[in-house]
Amino acid sequence: MSTSIGIHDLSLATTEFVLPHTALAEYNGTDIGKYHVGIGQQSMSVPAADEDIVTLAAAAAAPIIARHGSDGIRTVIFATESSIDQAKSAGVYVHSLLGLPSACRVVELKQACYGATAGLQFAIGLVRRDPTQRVLVIASDVSKYDLDSPGEATQGAAAVAMLVGTDPAVLRIEEPSGVFTADVMDFWRPNYRDTALVDGHESIAAYLQAVEGAWKDYTEHDGRPLEDFAAFVYHQPFTKMAYKAHRHLLDYVGFASDKDTISKALGLTTAYNTVIGNSYTASVYLGLAALLDQAEDLTDRSIGFLSYGSGSVAEFFAGTVVPGYREHLRTEAHHESIDRRKTLDYAAYRELHQRTFPADGGDHLTPAQTSGPFRLAGLRGHKRIYEAR
């Protein structure tokens, strides 16, 4: 019998501020139904001036280290598509902030919103090679589009940290996976841009094509039949996309795709993304957290995951919920992370959105805004300076 490997602990963090979509709609004259119903979004997390992917990642991972310690963590995998440096892994800053041992490898992974699933699968491989070690997988992103662009309403920011090891307390990851790659330009961010570019229609079409391709490969590798799954967790660039994707999968397989069937399969997974917005690599795992935190009892039930990253790469895989998982959930802390956010008006959000660091190599301090445990204190000689409280 093969060793059981999967998610032993899961923790999320989001930003200091939140912008309600009502404020965005009031500013641009959009019918609020376009946001609340059309894309399924209520609000978006907005980083403070002294928050970024590192501070969010460290805030998500710190409770895991506090509960389990750092012994046996020999690898940190940091997945992001909003990287802060072209050379240095953002995970190295997190490694330092958390006080992890020096006998540790740290890397950063990139493939749009899919990167964290790659990190999870790579972590499983490392643990299978050495069952005594644990791997810290972190997904952290700040989703940012041009002001007044169609993508503005889908912005968000969050981090999810997962401890991967043998005999997991939360979710056992199963074999096999179904994978799919296609070279498309549905969403991308060139090095010379701070904000992403997106072809909305192409992005939806590419996502649905990836759903088909990943599921087809999953079934060809003897994956579970569709009816085995108690719930499905999809990447959610906006929550209505999960509904579109599952309807497409049901139609593709030849199953009933009525509203009630779809809502039963994934309704609980959208709760956090609805109020946080698109968190890129963290999105699908926010969906998992929302499902586990709300469902009555998923013990020994199988969950289907569809992870998608523009460009594009997708993976369908399954996980089985472990008996006793509820004792290890962080539901109250997750709610606190979301509920503590301070509401911005549109003008204050716009000011934060437009804030950038000068590129002159001078000393540039950031305003002390976040009440979180870690902050970006500023730049000094082109070096990012972080503080732990």
pLDDT along the chain (389 residues), means of 10: 88 98 97 97 98 98 98 97 97 98 98 98 98 98 95 97 98 97 95 90 94 98 96 97 96 94 95 98 98 97 98 98 98 98 97 95 97 98 96
Name the active-site residue from 16, 51, 81, 315.
81
Q: Which residues pair with 306 in a beta bridge?
A: 234, 316
* Cα(170)–Cα(156) distance, integer angstroms: 26
Burial 296-325 (b: 16+ CB within 10 A, else e): eebeeebbbbbbbbbbbbbbbbbbbbbeeb
Contact status, residue 91 vs residue 128, Cβ threshold 8 Å:
no
Whether residue 334 lies in the annotated active site? no
Domain count, the chain: 1
For the entire predicted model, the pTM comes to 0.97
Name the active-site residue from 8, 235, 246, 353.
235
Name the active-site residue from 8, 21, 51, 113.
113
CA terminus-to-terminus distance, the chain: 45
Among 260, 230, 265, smallest CA distance to 245 is for 265
Whether residue 364 lies in the annotated active site? no
Contact status, residue 321 vs residue 292, Cβ threshold 8 Å:
yes
Three-point CA angle 314, 315, 316, nearest 5°:
135
CATH number for 201 = 3.40.47.10
> Containing domain of residue 80, as a range?
5-388
Give 262-314 as a 3 state SS string: HHHHHHHHHHHHHHHCCCHHHHHHHHHHHHHHHCCCCCCCEEEEEEEECCCEE
Element of type H or E holding 120: helix 115-129
**pLDDT value for 2:** 65
Percent of the chain as helix, strand, coil, to the nearest 5: 40, 25, 35
* Cα(66)–Cα(36) distance, integer angstroms: 37
Whether residue 81 lies in the annotated active site? yes
Q: Which residues pair with 216 in a beta bridge?
A: none
**pLDDT value for 1:** 47
